[in-house]
Amino acid sequence: MTSNVLSGPLHRSNGYPESYLRGWQSVRQAFNTPHMRKLPAGAASGEPQLKAKKNSKNHLDSGTVTSVLKRVIAENGKDHLRGYAFAISCLIATALSTAFTAWIMESVVNEAFANKRADMVLIICLAIFAAFVVRGLATYGQAVTLSKIGNNIVARYQKRLYSHLLKLSVGFFAEARSAQLTAQVTQNIGGVKDVLNLTVTSTARDLLTLVSLIVVMISKDWLLSLIVFAVAPPLIFALRYLSQRLRNVTRDAVEVSSKVLGAMQETIQGITVVKAFTMEDQLEKRVRRIIETSERQSNRIARLSERTAPLTDTFAGLAIASVIGYASFRSISDNVPPGAFFAFITALLMAYDPARRLARMQVEIERAVVNAKMIYGLLDMQPLQREKPDAPNLKITNAQIELKGVVFAYGNGAPILEGVDLVAEGGKTTALVGPSGAGKSTIISLIPRFYDPVEGQILIDGQDIANVTKSSLRHSLAYVTQQPYLFEGTIRDNIRYGRPEATDAEVEEAARLAHAHDFILTQPMGYETPVGENGMTLSGGQRQRVSIARALVRNAPILLLDEATSALDNESEAAVQRALDSAMVGRTVIVIAHRLSTVINADKIVVMHEGRAVEEGTHQELAKRKDGLYARLNNLQSSEKTELG
């Protein structure tokens, strides 16, 4: 059965089609990548679960916001201490120069215009010019510094997330939609940066600027200041209410937005199937619904977050109108000089912007905290298959593989394997055959510890693979999947992924053994030919032979073949089968095949049915059992071949 983004086999646990990520993750896992999972309490070992996503909505309370803030600061503050210190000093200079501009307005009005002192004009003008120069330089310095720090934080978390995702299990990627996962990571990663930068700028610039201007206002007229402060408490309560409502929709918006990108990427990857099955209308309706939901969520966030503007403007207008009315009355009735009033009004008007930004700060920080918390949700996934602290490396002698009473189930579903016992003798080929759903591929997945059995043991040369390091286990394996996956780069790069230290000569020798050398030389740039996205510049048979060469250059004593020829045409299958025959020599091989003709020469054939090993023997032995499952399958395929012939 071929696997495609839209038409591939359904995962038993959740019914979603397997994405292309399963292919590359399987290869990456086979080539020495440990895997981790976050397992719900009470779940059986090996369960690939992503349960209750909707039940874990992030309802942020003040304690959660504080804990995320502390974590972000703890993880990043120390490394950027000097940068933040410089940025804060620039922000302080910005705040003080802004306050000075408001403070000096009294001298401008009283000395230059009321008292007409020409000797003070030059000094005042130079002071104002100097204040603006300082503010301009300080603004530039803090902006560049915070941008560099923010970019570095994003880059660091991108590296951490990529490294961590490579450690997650195959089960995680079988259930997680790859495009949605990528979109969520992309959209949320800036949250960590924003948490720090918003905190620094709001505290060091806006809060200090506001405090400095309030000091100027009080020094000029304390009674006017009280009028302004009287309108502040209602504004604070209104903004707090808005921020609480905004918490509940931000995470939903990110998830829906990721579904939009996921649906589009899925369609692009499976475009040939979409067109072949005239699925355009169905998919367009489905994606349209998702996009409309995303639009509604975004509009809701916009309405909530932008309500701060009319609130702050209304209260600011009320405060300024009250101040102007009171000051005008005093100037008219008591003949008070206007200098202090102008200084006060200047400080009040200048205080509007930092006050507005501070009013939005809680909303913005909580949105950033939601994003950061989702990133930490990924980073905090705990290892499922924990290695013992003193776990030894696997020691290979004969490379004999033995399954003892192995039971396995995906998630909470019915068992896929029910007490499987089998032995794959060292240096020989063991074939797994049987109807679809019998558990053949599951056995292949258990040997590299992509999953762990619920019960039973898997032994290699008498060593339980659960007790050795995963690194040494996977270094002893080479894996060829049914659906070969090639990575961005050249043909040589893709073969060398099997063993990074392999020389060019070893890479080319592996290609010869895989019967790939000749077709590689016909490519425009030979071994240096770029393969394109997932090797699309090569045919299916060519991609599979490059995949086999990647396994051969690994020079591992154990070779796992998961239906490596079932998706190929006859000519490609013949070429790949010759390559596999070369690959099997001198290795312990476990091969899955639907075409029994490809495993006739296997040293042992194990017949799987409904999660159990029901028969075993050579082709000749099993074919003679008239009432056996293998004999029925063999007769069926032989008759089909005769009819086609």
Per residue, the 3-state secondary structure of 124-142, as one string, reads HHHHHHHHHHHHHHHHHHH
**Measured between alpha carbons, how far is 643 from 645 in angstroms, rounded to an integer?**
5
Contact 433, 599 (CB under 8 A): yes
| Cα 637 to Cα 623: distance, rounded to the nearest angstrom | 12
Query: For residue range 569-599, what is the model confidence (pLDDT) as tens digits?
Result: 677 677 777 777 777 888 899 999 877 877 8
Cα–Cα distance for residue pair 92/107, rounded to 1 Å: 24
Q: For the segment 509-532, what is each residue's pLDDT rounded down to a tens digit?
A: 999 888 889 899 999 899 999 988
> 108-132, pLDDT tens digit by residue?
877 777 677 777 888 888 888 999 9
Least-confidence region, from 22-26, 45-49, 199-203: 45-49
Asked if 91 and 204 count as a contact pair (C-beta separation under 8 A), the reply is yes
Angular region, 449: left φ>0, alpha ψ -120 to 50, beta rest: left
Task: Give kind and range of the element (H or E) at residue 272.
Answer: helix 271-276
| For the ranges 273-277, 551-555, 633-637, the one whose mean pLDDT is highest | 551-555
Q: Both tokens of residue 51?
A: 């349960």
Predicted confidence (pLDDT) per residue in 445-497, tens digit: 899 988 889 899 999 999 999 999 988 999 999 888 878 888 888 999 999 99
Instruction: Please name every residue paired with 429 in a beta bridge, in sequence order, or none if there are none.
Output: 589
At residue 177 the predicted structure's pLDDT band, cuts being 50, 70 and 90, is low
Closest CA to 591 of 578, 575, 603: 603
Best mean pLDDT range from 134-143, 557-566, 633-642: 134-143
pLDDT for residue 249 is more than 70: no
Average pLDDT, the chain: 78
**Measured between alpha carbons, how far is 241 from 567 in angstroms, rounded to an integer?**
59
SS3 408: strand
Are 566 and 541 in contact, with CB atoms under 8 Å apart? Answer: no
| Cβ–Cβ < 8 Å for 417, 403 | no
Task: Pick 179 or 6 by higher pLDDT.
Answer: 179
Whole-number Å distance between alpha carbons of 492 and 507: 7
* DSSP letter string, 418-474: EEEEEEE-TTSEEEEE-STTSSHHHHHHHTTTSS--SEEEEEETTEEGGGS-HHHHH
Q: How far is CA 292 from CA 255, 301, 305, 375, in A?
A: 14, 14, 20, 25
| Phi, psi for residue 459 in degrees, rounded to 5 | -115, 140
Domain at 60-379, CATH from 3.40.50.920, 1.10.3720.10, 1.20.1560.10, 2.40.10.10: 1.20.1560.10
DSSP string, 55-78: GG-----HHHHHHHHHHHHHHHTT
Confidence of residue 293 (pLDDT cuts 50, 70, 90): confident
Characterize the bridge pairing of strands 588-592 and 558-562. parallel
Report the 10 Å Cβ neighbour count for 387: 14
Higher pLDDT, 266 or 140: 140
Q: For the chain, report the end-to-end CA distance as a whole number of angstroms.
A: 22
The CA-atom distances, in angstroms, between 142 and each of 55, 82, 137, 200, 584 are 41, 12, 9, 10, 63
321, burial (CB in 10 Å: exposed 0-12, middle 13-18, buried 19+): exposed
Query: Do the domains spanning 60-379 and 477-555 agree at the CATH topology level?
Result: no
Given CATH 3.40.50.300, say whether it is the number of domain 477-555.
yes
Q: Which residues of 520-533 are buried (b: 16+ CB within 10 A; e: fewer)?
A: beebeeebebebee
User: What residues contact 576, with CB distance under 8 A and at least 6 apart?
Assistant: 515, 541, 544, 545, 548, 564, 565, 568
| 549 neighbors 514 (Cβ within 8 angstroms) | yes
Q: How far is CA 220 from the centre of its chain?
A: 55
Instruction: Give the domain 388-474+559-565+588-645 fold.
Output: Rossmann fold (3.40.50)
Strands (E), 476-629: 477-480, 558-562, 588-592, 604-609, 612-617
Whether 6 shows a pLDDT value over 50: the answer reads no
Determine the Cα–Cα distance for residues 118 and 45; give it in Å rounded to an integer: 86
Write down the pTM of the prediction. Answer: 0.67
Residue 403, classed as helix, strand or coil, is strand
Residues 178 and 20 sit within 8 Å (Cβ to Cβ): yes
Average pLDDT over residues 428-433: 92
Average pLDDT over residues 351-366: 75
Q: How many CB atoms lie within 10 A of CB 308?
A: 22
**Cβ neighbours of 217 (radius 10 Å):** 26
Identify whether the C-beta of residue 40 lies closer than 8 Å to the C-beta of residue 49.
Answer: yes
Rounded distance, CA 564 to CA 546, Å? 12
* Arithmetic mean of pLDDT, 201-215: 83
Residues in the chain: 645
Whether the CA torsion 100, 102, 105, 107 is positive or negative: it is negative
In the chain, domain spans: 60-379, 388-474+559-565+588-645, 477-555
Share in percent of the chain as helix, strand, coil (round to 5):
65, 10, 30
Give the per-residue pLDDT at 180. 63
